[in-house]
Amino acid sequence: MIEVAQLRKEYGDLVAVDDISFTAETGAIFGLLGPNGAGKTTTIGCISGLLEPTAGTVRVRGHDVVRESAQAKASLGVVPQEIALYGDLSAGENVRFWGQAYGLRGAKLRARITDVLEITGLLDRAGDRVDQFSGGMKRRLNFACGIIHEPQVLLLDEPTVGVDPQSRVRLLDLVREQANQGVCVLYTTHYMEEAQSICDRLAIIDHGHVIAQGSLAELQAQMGERDLVRVSGSFDESELHRAFGHDADVEIVTVDDAQATLSVRKASSKLPTLLAALTGAGSEVRDITVSQPSLESLFIKLTGKELRE
């Protein structure tokens, strides 16, 4: 398991992550969901031993990553966001090298090379140079290099970025398979759908802080039965607050001249009333969208902005 407690990382005056705490369990996938620049990669860097935390502790299977670095790293597998491969080597040579980096050799190494290339669907391309591979194949090989030594803890930093839908599905299956085999998986992504589909537990991270965490059900419960209603047009903020200020079923999340976001209980049944109230408040409505409770709507509710912004 991974235990992160009050993690803080500073780069000079910049605080990249601050007071981050969570626990990722064995045999489950823990997701770190947040927009680009939220601090996900910094968190992964501190857990993997790439970065030294400014404060806080990180333990991997009970080993402190700073004080017992070698023991912690030995059980870690890392699949970085970048495709960290040698393009001028073949797929087999890449996997071999990273296997050797984790101390594998001889028959065990050969067997693992075959295994990981097979499960990633690259066995028939083992002898081909990596710089001739497609983006999806490189991503799968990147994954293969991260699991060559059968790690008990697997860190995946946005492993599906820039991958075609087919390869993405295959990669997500591979990740799920690892968790099913008892591996503790920490998975970072800014794709809400991915997090919803694969993660058992999640922490939503923004500006270096964890703003919500729990299981998918727990997080969705924070939204209650409220839908997210996004309205485009022209708005008068004070009139809008006056119109909905005493309505318990409507909560204004954000509002500016051109767009308003509202959290509304059972919005679909209240749309006519809502539109009338908006018009009565001097608003001009050009477009209206209703979203069911989701991680995306929770993120918007918590931060006032979309995940991809």
To other proteins, the closest distance from the beta carbon of 282 in angstroms equals 52
Binding residues (CB under 8 A) for other proteins: these are 45, 48-51, 70, 73-74, 76, 78, 80, 82-89, 93, 97-98, 100-103, 105, 129, 145
d(C-alpha 60, C-alpha 71), whole Å: 9
Q: How far apart are the first and last CA of the chain?
A: 32
d(C-alpha 282, C-alpha 140), whole Å: 54
Q: Which is nearer to other proteins, 49 or 214 (CB)?
A: 49
Q: Which is nearer to other proteins, 55 or 101 (CB)?
A: 101
Q: Which is nearer to other proteins, 29 or 155 (CB)?
A: 155
Tokens of 280: 């009565």
To other proteins, the closest distance from the beta carbon of 4 in angstroms equals 16
To other proteins, the closest distance from the beta carbon of 45 in angstroms equals 8
To other proteins, the closest distance from the beta carbon of 188 in angstroms equals 15
Contacts of 33 (CB under 8 A, 6+ apart): 188, 189, 190, 192, 195, 199, 202, 203, 204, 205, 295, 299, 307
Q: Which is nearer to other proteins, 102 or 235 (CB)?
A: 102
To other proteins, the closest distance from the beta carbon of 285 in angstroms equals 48
To other proteins, the closest distance from the beta carbon of 78 in angstroms equals 5
Q: Which is nearer to other proteins, 82 or 118 (CB)?
A: 82
To other proteins, the closest distance from the beta carbon of 190 in angstroms equals 19
The answer to whether the beta carbons of residues 262 and 244 sit under 8 Å apart is yes
Q: Which is nearer to other proteins, 86 or 289 (CB)?
A: 86
d(C-alpha 153, C-alpha 3), whole Å: 11
d(C-alpha 188, C-alpha 48), whole Å: 13
Q: Which is nearer to other proteins, 87 or 224 (CB)?
A: 87
- For 219-233, b/e burial (b = at least 16 CB within 10 A) is bbeebeebbbbbbeb
d(C-alpha 114, C-alpha 86), whole Å: 19
Q: Is 66 left (phi over 0), alpha (psi -120 to 50) or beta?
A: alpha
Nearest to 284 by CA among 234, 238, 240, 243: 234
